Structure 1
Amino acid sequence: MVEENRPAFAAERRDRILELVRANGTMSLRALATKVHASEVTVRRDVRALEAEGLVDRRRGGVALPGRMGHEQSYSGKSTQCAAEKAAIAAVGARLVRPGEAVSLGPGSTTEALAHELFQHTELTVVTNSLRAADVLATAPGVRVVMTGGTLHGPVRALVGAEAQDTLADLRVNRAFLSGNGVSAERGLSTPDPAVAAVDRALADCAEETVVLADHTKIGAETMVPTVAPEEIAHLITDNGADPEVLMTLEDTGALVHVAVALGERGH
């Protein structure tokens, strides 16, 4: 019972925590505790020790690499991270969409997963600045795709700039689906890039309600530029690796929280 607190075991556990954070960029305390088979209290103590050495930064309910606030991971890196969780989140998101509606999709690997889920929908209009989402839906027989104009922003495979924002200014859709790099009760949805943030805001502004798709690594994380205020998030869809305490703080802001279970974690 006390072995996990012995110095040798603590050093090994902290090495493993650092390895996991380096691989994922950000992680919740709950997810780390599960991975290293320790309590959240123990992991929180380990994270404080790693932070004192300058190896990680603490976030509310989680931990990130130093400088993560301003760093944007490559699209290919995002696509492979938490793939099962993103697929589960996308499936829940797709159930919010009704025939005959118009929705907007922001950039990101989770909204790309949602595009796959929307492929079989009928009488649906999708407005997007995401090249990946548009490509997924290009041959969907029941989906009409409207792309914004703009300048290509390579890291997220999306169109940004004044032209993209102008395209969205006169549109009205039922709901916007966005997936940034962090979501917290203090800052809402955020992203490291100001150009991406500006179009994300425009996508949200043209919608009756905003749905945030965020896997557990983004819950409690905060990045440089806020895009959607906490009180403007109507739905938050995440996975069961998210820190429940942080989810409660987000519920307190008015968001309806949906927790998806990844396929490999469902009961038989």
Structure 2
Amino acid sequence: MNGRSAQRLERLSEALKRAGTLPLAEAAALCGVSEMTIRRDIAASSGTIASFGGHLVMADNPQFAAAYHLDTQKDHFAAAKQRLCREAAARVEEGDTLFIDCGTTLVALCAELPRQLTVTVVTYALNVANAFCQRDMPNMRLVVLGGLYYPASQSFGGQDVTTAIRRLGINKAFISAAGVQIDKGASCFHFHEVAPKQAAIEHAERSILVADESKLEVMRPAFFAELSDFDAVITSGAPGHAWQTRVAASDGPPVSVV
């Protein structure tokens, strides 16, 4: 690594310590070089700075842990997720078209819906689609949005997914998040999830954030929505009650705690 590269990495490290994440284009502009040069600098940084989906983060910052595998998350706060999905199911009405987000939080929603309910389910998550495929719901229609497959989250990404969401009439969008902060909003691990989440939030009649207590006041690499973008939030536990009070004081969306 030459001296100029080391200087750029030091400048980027200082910027990341202040901001948490930095788009690659902004990093290049900050250093007065091309994005390719920044990528070469990162490759030579011995892992101190990481790049995820066009954004830079400090690799040793626990808030931006990139390691997420769906199989390791499915049992995490499982009882809380069951309660969250029971509350979410109570908000579903006959004839609704539902968008159900990826991850493990909303898989249990499948079992909570009445068997005879007439409903259309839209998802880009393979694990969610599999859960509904195995459920005996004769009046359910399942719409699976495909594209490039991402094994870590068992979900699909790409322009086709986002375009399809925008063409659908969605009554309720149930959105999951890996981190939620009152002032910074909702975030997730994977940047390919950002566009589908944002499209569903924008085009649904109602968007409902569903996140257990372990996600509260946590930030992940990929920001996708302000808290005010949601019509309602469902969370859990004693931390959820404390958070509910804080959100109410900030004129945020109504929060239900289960």
TM-score using structure 1 length: 0.69
Cα displacement string for residues 153-183 of structure 1 (whole angstroms, at most 9, x for unaligned residues): 1111111111111111211211100111011
For 1:111, what is the secondary structure of its paired residue?
A: coil
Q: 2:199 aligns with which of 186, 198, 202?
A: 202
For 2:165, what is the secondary structure of its paired residue?
A: helix
1:86 aligns with 2:81: yes
2:140 equivalent in structure 1: 143
Question: Which runs of 5 or more residues in structure 2 are unaligned?
Answer: 1-59
Q: 1:246 aligns with which of 233, 243, 247?
A: 243
Structure 1 distance, partners of 2:245, 2:80, is: 20
**4+ runs deviating over 3 angstroms:** none
Question: For the Cα contact (< 8 Å) 1:184–1:246, is it kept in 2?
Answer: no
1:255 aligns with 2:253: yes
Q: What RMSD, in angstroms, separates the aligned Cα atoms of the two structures?
A: 1.7
For 2:74, what is the secondary structure of its paired residue?
A: helix
Q: How does 1:1-268 map to 2 (within 5 A)?
A: 66-118=61-113, 120=115, 122-138=117-133, 139-251=136-248, 252-260=250-258
CA-CA distance at 1:70 after TM superposition: 4.0
- The 1:120/1:187 distance shift into structure 2, 3 A limit, reads farther
- The 1:135/1:224 distance shift into structure 2, 3 A limit, reads same
Structure 2 distance, partners of 1:174, 1:135, is: 22
CA-CA distance at 1:119 after TM superposition: 5.7
User: Which deviates further from its counterpart, 66-75 or 251-260?
Assistant: 66-75
User: Which deviates further from its counterpart, 84-93 or 217-226?
Assistant: 217-226
CA-CA distance at 1:253 after TM superposition: 3.9
Question: For the Cα contact (< 8 Å) 1:184–1:250, is it kept in 2?
Answer: no
Structure 2 distance, partners of 1:256, 1:108, is: 23
Structure 1 distance, partners of 2:64, 2:131, is: 30
TM-score using structure 2 length: 0.71
Kindly tell me the number of residue pairs found equivalent between the two proteins.
196
Question: For the Cα contact (< 8 Å) 1:192–1:224, is it kept in 2?
Answer: yes
Higher relative contact order (CA 8 A, sep 6+): 1
Structure 2 distance, partners of 1:116, 1:227, is: 28
Question: Which runs of 5 or more residues in structure 1 are unaligned?
Answer: 1-64, 261-268
Cα displacement string for residues 209-246 of structure 1 (whole angstroms, at most 9, x for unaligned residues): 21111111001111122212111111111111325443
